[in-house]
Chains A and B, each alone.
Chain A
């Protein structure tokens, strides 16, 4: 059974860089995109970006200038860095697997597995 285990610093000061890592256990790492999603306290979900096993990335345009997602295929891990954080970046950050299914000529993409989430608080 595939599991996602994530970790990283939970308390940052403004202007610091957020750094989180997600490890994939018990299943295939290649053949999927792997995403980061965040959720500010009491608010909705925001997709941050994704990476596949070959290192191809896609980012949310609203965060692109500050986000770097990288992959370490030797460890089945992928990581998130978000620079110059402010209080607005306070959120629970989730890693997730992007699954796809092909139906005739259409490809449907969605998040089928999630990490447990890491609360990151930005405060001076």
Chain B
């Protein structure tokens, strides 16, 4: 079973900072990875799919990269409204299964 890890588990950064979150798969998953943002008390929201494709309507300060086992979500200039927990998610085709990473909590310093 492919395991997903995220680092760091939490971070605190200043407004305007560049923030990078890492997601690692225990085996290669090509680019079958998505990223979600969950603000406190809210429903998760899709940010990125196929590792690097920005979902429609998502601000361009968010970007994703990676393939195989190592992936990153970058916020180029952190904004107060970006305070949230970010989850990566992989998809298995055989058997069909979805797995989320443990999450990274982002706060404003």
A interface residues (Cβ-Cβ under 8 A, vs B): 35, 44-47, 50, 58, 60-61, 94, 101, 103, 106, 108-112, 114-117
Contacts and interface: CB of A to CB of B under 8 A. Distances in A.
A58 B99 contact: no
A45 B44 contact: yes
A61 B97 contact: yes
Contacts of B32: 106, 108-109
Contacts, number: 62
A110 B43 contact: no
B98 A44 contact: no
Nearest to A98: B98
A45 B100 contact: yes
A35 B44 CA distance: 14
B91 A45 contact: no
Classify the interface of chain B: helix, strand, loop or mixed. Answer: strand
Given A61-B97, A111-B44, A114-B44, A44 B91 contact: no
Contacts of B102: 44
A106 B32 CA distance: 9
Contacts of B34: 108, 110-111
A59 to B, nearest CB: 9
A111 B47 CA distance: 10
Contact of A108 (B38, B49, B97, B100): B49
